Amino acid sequence: MKLRRISTIEKHAEKVFFALMALALFTVLTMQFGGGPNTIKVHTDEGVPIDEAFQRVASAAQSKLRQLEQPEPDPQAPQEAPKLSGRFAAALEQEPTEIALIDIPLGPPAGDVGADEDLPPDEKLLVELAVVPAPSQVSARAFAGTIDPLVIAAIPDVLDRSSNIRPEQPYDMRAVSVEASFNAAPLIAALRADPDGAGPKKPVPLRWWQKRLAIVDVQLFRRELYPDGSYSSAALIAPPPGRMNTRAVIDEISDPKALVDLINLTREAERQLVQPAFYTMIAGEPWIPPAAASDASKAFKNNLRTWKRYLQLEAEIQTLERRLDSQQDKRSDAGLSSLGPEWVAQVGRPGGGGPRDRDRESDTRPKETKQDPLDRIRDQIQTRQQELSQLRTTLQAAGIDVENAIVASPAQDALEAPIGRLRDGQSVQVWAHDITVQAGKTYQYQIRVTIPNPLYGFSDYIAEEALPLAQEPVMVSEPSDWSEPVIVDPNSYLFVTNAGLGAGIGAERSLPTATVELFEFYYGYWRNQGLRLRPGDAVIGELALNDMRLPFFDIQQNEDSPAVAQVMDTSPDNVPVGAAGWFLLDIITKPAIGSGRGAEQYAAIFRNDVGDVIVREQQSDIRLESLQRLRDSAALGQMASVLDPVGDQLSPASRPNAGTTGLGGPGRQERDDRESRDGRPPSSMNRGRVGGG
Amino acid sequence: MKKVLELVKANVFIVIFVVISLVSMPVLMFFSAKQNAALREKVEQEVGEDSRKIQQISVTYTAPVLDPNSSPIPFNRPPNEPTTEAIRAYVKVLKKESDAIVQLAQEHNKRDRRILFDGLFPEPDAARETRIRQAAPAIRAEAHRQLINNVGAGSPPDAEFVLQLLQDRRTDMLDRLASQGREEDPDERAQIRTKLSEIRRNVYIEKSKYLTFYADDNVFRGVTPWEQSFLPSIETIWSWQHQYWVHQDILDALVQANTVAFQAEPIAQAPVKRVEQISVAAWDLADAAPTASVGLDASVRMMPDYEASLSGRAGWPLRANPLYDVRYVDLSLIVSSKQLPAVLNAFSTVNFMTVLDVDLEEIDANAHYAQGYVYGPGHVVRAKLLIETLWLRQWMAEYMPSSVKQTLGIPLPGTPVEATSEEQAPPASTRSRRERMQG
């Protein structure tokens, strides 16, 4: 058999096949590893690896979410609206700038005709001076707060003048502010009117008074209302130290130029004279103009209630979030985190052993009510966050700076309202402050305004009969009506909230006891403390400030630079308080007429500091409106915090924290504590307030 | 070839498998590539859709501005509560500011206006209407007399009084000479003449010292006795009322001009020496046809109309203007040429008044002196001014009679507004104020 020769093809066929397969493999491997990744276009980005595409989208979504949830407004959003009305009002008041500089005559002088010569006048004006109408709508309001220590450093006379200010920090002070409305329209009408029609008397020429119309002083009169219903005589109250006082200047006016200087002065500082700011306060309810006090005070309290709820929600959300984290950690530890809620329900909770009692209970409920506890917590968080968001909107609309916990004055509109122009017959709201009030007394107030005398300086043109009218440089208005009585709070309040004669027989019998609630004004608010007293006990206790760390400031004064305040110390936990000289003498039963034994009422008998016997009944005391007011103040004092001292601000509208109140909150307190532990000053101190509830 | 076929036949399966193996590679690669492309397209589509939706989460915030010459600057961003709140707060403050400005403008414009014809406006008291209309001309005349009195203006000494005074003094002097047994010689006649001139001059100067400027109630053009056989209509009386307010503002401005640093200047030193004429361009309200309502919206932006006026401001009847009416006043004054700027400045301090035109004329001060007018030592000229005064409709409408409102196109309560637009453009057929005044 002839051997068959193996052809070349046969001989190398497998090599060729192998080579081709190797080439194919190489091509596949090159395509897999050597070529570029599989890319697509995502939005505007070309060449995005396909495995990163969804990641890119997720990243874009996260970025969008961050922008959605960004806590700060976009920087492009306008931060502050221009105060155009103020500029407009100022422009209306301003003298125009000279429109041309033609201060040269266009021709030769006409001669000496009319040159000022000393000639005896033949005809003079017989004029009558209008009566300046009384200010109206007088309202007075007592208020209290803690004066900024920088104000005291700048105006130490406040300590001497005020009858009730605490002599050292905190400078708690009580004062009364009075507001009235002075309407210029009747005055202008009277000045314009011809006094006797066709008779010889003439109206005061417009040019004598039109540009002179201005309030150059606001006089505040006070009288004390005694307990027997009688009054003291009216006394003129001097403006508080550090506030504009023109009385000495008015007394020294001896020529028309001095009067013009005074008018210029009062025009330049009109608000300081007509609406003087009260001293800057660092703690206490904001100062509110008396006329706006009623509405503004209600709004302020409503806002505080909303703020309280806001803080409560924040705390609840924090608690829920902690619970959620804790539950998630537990589930993660049990290896159930990857399971859905339906699996968790089937295999039971970490720890095994089947469903617990609580789960069994839940199993008895309809199936559709079953919900994963984590989802339930998330729902609760979401519900609270929604409410929180609504409250934030409400608070911001009400002028509360939620981030910095500052309440704008509820009477901001009144503080910034433009002052009316007398020459246009508008009304001007005038304010005055009395810091010389004494604690526990009742006062009434009256206001008069002083305006320049339109005849002063024009004696040469006035008939002899009318000359006496031109002697005084100013005219004082008729007095306003007396305000409603204003009660200045006493230094402390005491309310009997419970009393009993004791129970038991013989030696086992317990002693009669009275529970009293003692209030003392401290650091801007009334602080309360309950005391249990037995007959013979002095009414003395200690205010528990509950670690509020209310700050005391060290005032550093240099000649070259304004004084600065630094926190030197914080308040002690307890401050001794008491109704000085008061003792509980006895507790007696006061039978109620027509009632059974159960209706017995008790009365506590005290001896006060001057030896009088005072009977206080529990039933009457707890119904007193003042008790609720003081309790409200005490509750507010727990929430409020202390503002940074900023010094004296002469104009309420220009104050950086005009009429503001600092608010505290648990969240902030925790932050402060944390920062304090780190050796850093509390952040709230840098922001302008320290302490808090 | 034969050999190859033989080989293929001999190894048919091997060849088939080899071919399959070799062909499958590109085929599979082809399908793989196709599948890959489909996947890429699908993913790109999904991602693109998601991405588009994310990009669409955006709003345009636009904060308005009060300045009509500025445009609001919008910006896009995802909706964000603090930003929305910031814009809302900003708009709220702007609204408050805007309202305050409107209020201030109205108070500035309204001032302490007095209604002369109490009981007639806006709607007449039926029981008193006839009586008030009968008394209106007298009330108007008296009000203008009071106006002159109030500003401390007046006339020079009465010529007859001066003549009588000089004659009396001359008689006294001659009597004194006669008592000395002498008669006047040429020297003494000259002395008497000089003395009488001095007396006359002193009388004039003394009167000028207690006047703000020279003016009497004849300076008000158009304030003339009512000589018709019928009573003035409500529209006519409203015209008188409005004209009185214009007169009041003009005189107040002139008083301001003569008051320096709260002190009144005597005529000799004051800028305004004499008011010769105040003429308010008349409005023919009684015969004018009603105008289509233009609303009473203070927020409408008024486009300047320089055809109508140098200031660009114009109102009824030249063009629709829901914001204000324009009244023009021609004034003729004798003023110190040196202090003319003070006069021009004074108008804007009193109300919304603008000086549109000033014409100066040389005068012969001696001729005026001959009539008793003493202007002081400086150079004086006659200044003829054209003043534009603006009257905001929002407060004026409170007093306007219904018929006047209809004429001016002010909507009556409860009637729909027919023509309002964001920006009021001048009508094509407007005639300039001067043209209207001329004809």
- Residue A321 sits in the same domain as residue A372: yes
- Residue A330 sits in the same domain as residue A285: no
Residue of A nearest to B364 (CA): A110
Contact (CB, 8 A) for B344 and B358? yes
> Is the CB of A192 less than 8 angstroms away from the CB of B29?
no
Decide if B390 touches A, using CB distance below 8 A: no
- A515 lies in some domain: yes
- B302 lies in some domain: yes
Query: Can you tell me the distance from the alpha carbon of B23 to that of B290, in angstroms, rounded to the nearest whole number?
Result: 96
CA-based nearest residue to A622, from A493, A492, A497: A497
Decide if A503 touches B, using CB distance below 8 A: no
| Residue B86, min C-alpha distance to chain A (Å) | 6
Which residues from chain B sit within 8 angstroms of residue A206, using beta carbons? 150-152, 212, 251-252, 255
Residue of B nearest to A21 (CA): B22
**Orientation angle between helical segments B2-10 and A8-29, nearest 10 degrees:** 70
> Is the CB of A396 less than 8 angstroms away from the CB of B89?
yes
Number of domains making up chain A? 3
- In chain A the first and final C-alpha atoms are separated, in Å, by 116
How high is the pLDDT of residue A398? 66
Q: How many residues are there in chain A?
A: 693
- In chain B the first and final C-alpha atoms are separated, in Å, by 119
How high is the pLDDT of residue A376? 86
- Residue A543 sits in the same domain as residue A678: yes
Residue A224 bridge partners (DSSP)? A443
| Model pLDDT for residues B297-320, shown as the tens digit of each residue | 777 777 888 888 888 998 888 888
Query: Can you tell me the distance from the alpha carbon of A41 to that of B48, in angstroms, rounded to the nearest whole number?
Result: 8
- A14 lies in some domain: no
Residue A141 bridge partners (DSSP)? A177
Residue of A nearest to B255 (CA): A207
B338 alpha carbon, distance to own chain's centre: 28
CA-based nearest residue to A491, from A421, A577, A554, A429: A577
Sorted by sequence, the CB contacts under 8 Å of residue B10 that are 6+ apart come out as none
How high is the pLDDT of residue A585? 87
3-state secondary structure of A430: strand
Gyration radius of chain B's alpha carbons: 42
- Residue B11 sits in the same domain as residue B115: no
Decide if A106 touches B, using CB distance below 8 A: yes
- Residue A508 sits in the same domain as residue A465: no
Size of interface A-B (CB pairs under 8 A): 281
Preferred mutation among B19, B30, B262 to probe A, highest tally of A CBs within 10 A: B262
Domain termination site, one of B56, B71, B100: B56
Residue A533 bridge partners (DSSP)? A514
3-state secondary structure of B101: helix
How high is the pLDDT of residue B283? 86
Q: What is the DSSP letter of A322?
A: H
Structural domain of B48: 2-56
Contact (CB, 8 A) for A142 and A135? no
Contact (CB, 8 A) for A48 and A42? yes
Decide if B178 touches A, using CB distance below 8 A: no
3-state secondary structure of A384: helix
> Mean pLDDT for each consecutive 10-residue tract of chain A (693 residues)?
70 81 82 74 82 86 87 83 79 62 54 42 74 93 91 90 88 94 88 80 78 89 91 92 91 88 81 89 85 71 77 87 84 57 41 42 49 83 86 73 63 71 80 93 95 88 88 94 92 84 65 86 88 86 76 80 72 71 83 56 84 81 80 81 79 44 46 40 31 26
How high is the pLDDT of residue A348? 39
Amino acid at A348: G
Query: Can you tell me the distance from the alpha carbon of A432 to that of A239, in angstroms, rounded to the nearest whole number?
Result: 7
How high is the pLDDT of residue A341? 46
- Residue A165 sits in the same domain as residue A277: yes
- Residue A449 sits in the same domain as residue A563: no
- Residue A669 sits in the same domain as residue A645: yes
Read off the tokens for A263: 């008018």
3-state secondary structure of A363: helix
How high is the pLDDT of residue A433? 95
- Residue B390 sits in the same domain as residue B272: yes
Q: What is the dihedral of CA A636, A639, A644, A649, to 10 degrees?
A: -30
Angle CA A148–A150–A155, to nearest 5:
100
- Pairing outcome for strands B423-424 and B301-302: parallel
- Residue A209 sits in the same domain as residue A283: yes
Decide if B20 touches A, using CB distance below 8 A: no
- Residue B42 sits in the same domain as residue B117: no
Decide if A207 touches B, using CB distance below 8 A: yes
Residue of A nearest to B27 (CA): A24
> Is the CB of B201 less than 8 angstroms away from the CB of A113?
yes
| Residue A642, min C-alpha distance to chain B (Å) | 27
- Residue A681 sits in the same domain as residue A551: yes
Decide if B106 touches A, using CB distance below 8 A: no
> Is the CB of A192 less than 8 angstroms away from the CB of B150?
yes
| Residue A266, min C-alpha distance to chain B (Å) | 13
DSSP A1-65: -PPPPPPHHHHHHHHHHHHHHHHHHHHHHIIIIISPP-EEEETTEEEEEHHHHHHHHHHHHHHHH
| Residue B162, min C-alpha distance to chain A (Å) | 12
Decide if B161 touches A, using CB distance below 8 A: no
Q: What is the DSSP letter of A193?
A: S
Q: Which of residues 44-63 of A touch B (CB under 8 A)?
A: 50, 53-54, 56-57, 60-61
- B106 lies in some domain: no
Residue A662 bridge partners (DSSP)? A406, A641
A346 alpha carbon, distance to own chain's centre: 56
Contact (CB, 8 A) for A475 and A510? no
| Residue A143, min C-alpha distance to chain B (Å) | 29
Q: Which of residues 658-687 of A touch B (CB under 8 A)?
A: none
- A376 lies in some domain: yes
Query: Can you tell me the distance from the alpha carbon of B72 to that of B87, in angstroms, rounded to the nearest whole number?
Result: 12
Query: Can you tell me the distance from the alpha carbon of A631 to that of A530, in angstroms, rounded to the nearest whole number?
Result: 12
> Is the CB of A102 less than 8 angstroms away from the CB of B338?
yes
Domain termination site, one of B13, B35, B56: B56
Which residues from chain B sit within 8 angstroms of residue A88, using beta carbons? 100-101, 104-105
Q: What is the dihedral of CA A393, A399, A400, A404, to 10 degrees?
A: 110
Write down the residue that tokens 């929305």 correspond to.
B84
Preferred mutation among A39, A51, A206 to probe B, highest tally of B CBs within 10 A: A206
- Residue A283 sits in the same domain as residue A370: no
- Residue A544 sits in the same domain as residue A595: yes
- CB burial of residue A160 (10 Å; 0-12, 13-18, 19+): exposed
| Model pLDDT for residues A422-479, shown as the tens digit of each residue | 776 778 999 999 999 998 899 999 999 999 998 888 888 888 888 999 999 999 999 9
CA-based nearest residue to A495, from A528, A538, A543: A528
Which residues from chain A sit within 8 angstroms of residue B202, using beta carbons? 117, 119
Which residues from chain B sit within 8 angstroms of residue A38, using beta carbons? 36, 40
- B40 lies in some domain: yes
DSSP B194-214: HHHHHHHHHHHHHHHHT-SSB
- B136 lies in some domain: yes
Of B4, B25, B51, the CB nearest to A60: B51
Contact (CB, 8 A) for A131 and A448? no
**3-state helix/strand/coil string of B256-300:** HHCEECCEECCCCCCCEEEEEEEEECCCCCCCCCCCCCCCCCCCC
- Residue A318 sits in the same domain as residue A343: yes
Q: Which of residues 365-424 of A touch B (CB under 8 A)?
A: 389, 393, 396-397, 418, 421, 424
- B170 lies in some domain: no
Decide if B24 touches A, using CB distance below 8 A: no
DSSP A218-284: EEEEEEEE-TTS-BPPPEEEPPPTTS---HHHHHT--SHHHHHHHHHHHHHTHHHHHSPPPPPEEES
Contact (CB, 8 A) for A132 and A476? yes
Residue of B nearest to A39 (CA): B40
- B292 lies in some domain: yes
- B68 lies in some domain: no
3-state secondary structure of B151: coil
How high is the pLDDT of residue A630? 87
- Residue B33 sits in the same domain as residue B129: no
Weakly modelled stretches of chain B, pLDDT under 70: 261-263, 414-439
- A252 lies in some domain: yes
Query: Could you tell me the CA-to-CA distances from A551 to A289, B193, B242 in Å, in that order?
Result: 28, 91, 64
**3-state helix/strand/coil string of A68-112:** HHCCCCCCCCCCCCCCHHHHHHHHHHCCCCCCCCCCCCCCCCCCC
Angle CA B163–A465–B165, to nearest 5:
10
Structural domain of A634: 492-690
- A585 lies in some domain: yes
- A301 lies in some domain: yes
Sorted by sequence, the CB contacts under 8 Å of residue B131 that are 6+ apart come out as none
**Orientation angle between helical segments B129-150 and B234-257, nearest 10 degrees:** 10
Residue A515 bridge partners (DSSP)? A498, A532
Decide if A269 touches B, using CB distance below 8 A: no
- Residue B272 sits in the same domain as residue B359: yes
Number of domains making up chain B? 2
How high is the pLDDT of residue A678? 40
Amino acid at A44: T
- A12 lies in some domain: no
Domain termination site, one of A360, A386, A407: A407
- A436 lies in some domain: yes
Of B52, B212, B337, the CB nearest to A107: B337
Which residues from chain B sit within 8 angstroms of residue A114, using beta carbons? 205, 208, 267-268, 374-377
Query: Can you tell me the distance from the alpha carbon of A310 to that of A663, in angstroms, rounded to the nearest whole number?
Result: 12
Contact (CB, 8 A) for A397 and A248? no
Query: Can you tell me the distance from the alpha carbon of A181 to that of A201, in angstroms, rounded to the nearest whole number?
Result: 31
Write down the residue that tokens 């924090």 correspond to.
A318
Which residues from chain A sit within 8 angstroms of residue B269, using beta carbons? 116
